Structure formats: C-alpha cells, structure tokens
Amino acid sequence: MKNTIYKYIFYEFLRYFLVALFAFAIIVWTIQAVNFLDLVVEEGHGFRTYFIYSIFTLSKVLTKLIPFCFMLAMILTITKLEKDNEAIIMWTAGLNKIHIVKLIFKISIIIMLAQLFFTSLVNPTMLGFSRNVLKNSELQFVPTLMKEKQFNDTVEGVTIFIEEKIQNGKYKNLFIRDEGKILSGKDEQATTIFAKYGSLGEDESSLILYNGNIQKLNNDGDINVIKFEKTVLNFSNLTTKSIITQKIQETSTLKIFNCMLNVNTEDTHNCSKEKKSLMDNKIEFNKRFGMPIYIPLISLICAFLLTSRKDKKIYYYNKYIYFFICFLILALSEILVRYSGTSWNHTSVYYMLPVGLLPLFYFVLIRKFKYENLK
C-alpha cells in the first residue's frame, strides 16, 4: 500500500515537473532563438547552422530551469494532495508525514543528481558542439558587413564603413580599418583603406575596391600611402567574433578544475593566470556543483506545506509564502554564486547556506510531526 502511494506521489510530481520544464523551456528557447537571428542577419551563417546551433543551446536553458521547475512541481504536488483530500486518505492508510518528507527529499536527490549531470557534462558538451557548428559552417557574411552609414566590426579586428549603397552590390565611399592585422598580414602594421567605389565579388566572399588608397604606418612612425585603381580584398579566410570568442561555459569541467589547480592543460583560452580569468573559472565551477545542492533545501521548504491543514484559513496564504521563500532562495543562490569566485569566504557562504539549513529544516519538520500518531 505504501509503495503504491509513493509511486503515485512520484508520478504526480514527475508529471508536473516535465510539463513545467517543457513549457518554460519552449518559451525561453524561443526568445533565445530570436536573439540568435544575428548569426544569420549580421554574420552570414545559413538558416541550417542557425537552427542546429539553437538546438544545441537548449541544454543551457534546461540547466537554468530545472531548480525552478522542481520547486513549482513540488508545491503543486503537495497542494493537490491537500486540496483533493488525498493526504487525509494517506494518513488514514497509516502513512506518517515524516515518510512523505523523506520521499520528497529522495526525489530532490534524484533531481539534484540530474542537475549535476547536466551542469558538469551535458551542458559543456552541447555548447562545445554548438561552437563547432559555427566553426564548420560556410559563411556568406561579406554582404551583411556592408551597412550604409554604420561602422561594422562583426569580423574580429576589422571595421568597415560605407557612406552609400548604390545598387546590385555596389557601394560608394568605403572606409576599412584593419586593427587585427588580418587583411594586411601578421607581420605588417595596421592598415586603413579608403575607396571611392566598391562592389562584391562573384562568390560574395571578396570585395573589389576602385579608385582609392591604402595607408600603412611603418616602423619609423611615418604613414605610407599607396594609391590604386583597383584592388581585391579576400574575406574567405576571415571569421566572425561569434566563432573566435569561446565562452567559459563551453569548457569541460575537468579543464576548469585543472585551471583552478594551475595544472597544465591544452585549453589555453580559459587557463590564463590573470586574476579575472581565475575568478571566472571558480565562478563557473561553483555554478556547476553548487547550484544543484540548493534543490534538496527547496524540497524541505516545500515540505512545510504538509504542516498546514486545509481547514485553516491561512493554508492558501502559506502556499504563496513558501513559494516566495523558495524563489528567494533560488535568487539568493544566483547572487551568491556571482561573488563566490572573489574569495574563499564568499565561496564558503555559498556552499554552507544549503548545507547548514538542510539539517535545521529537517529537525524542525521532525519536531512538528513527532507527536502525531499517524503511521
């Protein structure tokens, strides 16, 4: 009988949890996908690349939503048991409230482990795949660079400005500044190019310039000016900022751990010994392993709903009060994790808050239920 009730409660929770997770994930992912349209509009990636990239970033959305959806599903499950008088049937069948608390806590451990799996393995792997999708895509970004009366720096180290679009891929009065030495070559100084007219190449991966000049700063500090009637700039080997700029969320957990221990690793991007880089690694590590610990704490706060009787007027007020407390705990965890990499004191507070409150809340629940004779 007890096992049947336990299964019923678990399946009710699971139903609420999956529905909430799916609904919120679709909403957040859709908003996020709209923001990713810049990959097509600004950087020239194809719609296929855009769609695959958006799908891979869904893991990041799920990782953020799991704690909130757990809280919502747990409150709805307990409220349903009380509202439909199912809780009374359970107490009559010999279940003790503390048994339900233990069940709720066990469910939270399962969700916590799932969250750990997502944050430490699935999410970095999927985001790494999304980066590879961008790197391996065929770019047609040259037309997107040519925006009338706007400075465009989509390409790393290159700024382009055109005064006027004429027609059919032709432009008037172009300015190009190469700060990253991409167009001019690695061993040369920065280059500034002015051209009276310009047009796209046949494959749209090059830019043909007419009647202009190239200005280069030599080693003596003088400016060399080279005039031309026609020159071609090839953009086929260039990449956009979204491809070059790797995010720390894409780095594997093992590499972040090695960076924190100053162990040699092949990941040179996120293993800088600069203070800010080390702090970012600590914060990311704490996000992956600290945030899931707050889920069991949320479960015990939700369990306090079992202490309120349906016939009390304050029961429904308690439901919103506990929801607000849970939401506040989650918000606090997000704030604390942002400072957890600055010092060991902040890190200790971040981890000790859930670890310290867990036994306290459990003890309070035991005290409330120990005089009840429902078994």
> In this predicted model, what pLDDT tens digit does every residue of 361-374 receive, in sequence order?
988 888 877 765 44
In a domain, 127, yes or no: yes
Residue 354 confidence (pLDDT): 92
Residue 32 confidence (pLDDT): 84
Residue 375 confidence (pLDDT): 46
CA of residue 363 relative to chain centroid, distance: 36
Query: What are the φ/ψ torsions at residue 210 (nearest 5 degrees)?
Result: -130, 140
Asked if residue 177 and residue 65 are part of one domain, the reply reads no
Asked if residue 181 and residue 106 are part of one domain, the reply reads no
Asked if residue 162 and residue 89 are part of one domain, the reply reads no
- Give residues with Cβ within 8 angstroms of 70, minimum separation 6: 17, 108, 111, 295, 298, 299
pLDDT of 158 > 70? The answer is: yes
- Residue with the bigger pLDDT between 259 and 347: it is 347
CA–CA gap between residue 311 and residue 145 (Å, rounded): 66
Asked if residue 130 and residue 155 are part of one domain, the reply reads no
pLDDT tens-digit map of 46-81: 677 778 888 888 999 999 999 999 999 999 998 888
Average pLDDT taken over every residue of the chain: 81
In a domain, 62, yes or no: yes
- Domains in the chain: how many in total? 2
pLDDT tens-digit map of 3-35: 888 888 999 999 999 999 999 999 999 888 887
pLDDT of 210 > 70? The answer is: yes
Residue 189: pLDDT band by 50, 70, 90 thresholds? low
Asked if residue 108 and residue 214 are part of one domain, the reply reads no
Asked if residue 255 and residue 174 are part of one domain, the reply reads no
Helix (H) or strand (E) holding 212: strand 206-217
Last residue of a domain, one of 223, 238, 253: 238
- Could you say which DSSP state residue 204 is in? S
Last residue of a domain, one of 238, 272, 292: 238
pLDDT tens-digit map of 231-265: 887 776 666 666 556 778 888 888 888 877 765 55
Scored b (16 or more CB within 10 A) or e, 51-78 reads ebbbebbbbbbbbbbbbbbbbbbbbbbb
Q: Give me the amino acid identity at 148.
A: E
Residue 315 confidence (pLDDT): 66
In a domain, 375, yes or no: no
**Which one, of 220, 218, 222, 283, lies nearest residue 247 by Cα?**
283
Coil, helix or strand at residue 45: coil
CA 22 → CA 27, 134, 292, 307, distances in Å? 9, 26, 19, 30
The segment with the largest mean pLDDT, out of 168-172, 186-190, 255-259, is 255-259
In a domain, 194, yes or no: yes
- Residue 94 domain boundaries: 2-137+245-369
In a domain, 374, yes or no: no
- Residue with the bigger pLDDT between 224 and 44: it is 224
Residue 10 confidence (pLDDT): 93
Asked if residue 116 and residue 100 are part of one domain, the reply reads yes
In a domain, 270, yes or no: yes
The packing angle between helices 253-260 and 275-290, to 10°, is 130
CA–CA gap between residue 38 and residue 302 (Å, rounded): 41
In a domain, 101, yes or no: yes
Asked if residue 113 and residue 47 are part of one domain, the reply reads yes
Asked if residue 249 and residue 231 are part of one domain, the reply reads no
Asked if residue 123 and residue 16 are part of one domain, the reply reads yes
Mean pLDDT of 322-341: 90
CB 293 within 8 A of CB 351: yes
Asked if residue 118 and residue 7 are part of one domain, the reply reads yes
Residue 135 confidence (pLDDT): 72
Bridge-based pairing state of the strands 191-200 and 206-217 = antiparallel
Last residue of a domain, one of 208, 238, 268: 238
Calculate what percentage of the chain has a pLDDT beyond 90: 28
In a domain, 126, yes or no: yes
Asked if residue 146 and residue 127 are part of one domain, the reply reads no
Residue 109 confidence (pLDDT): 96
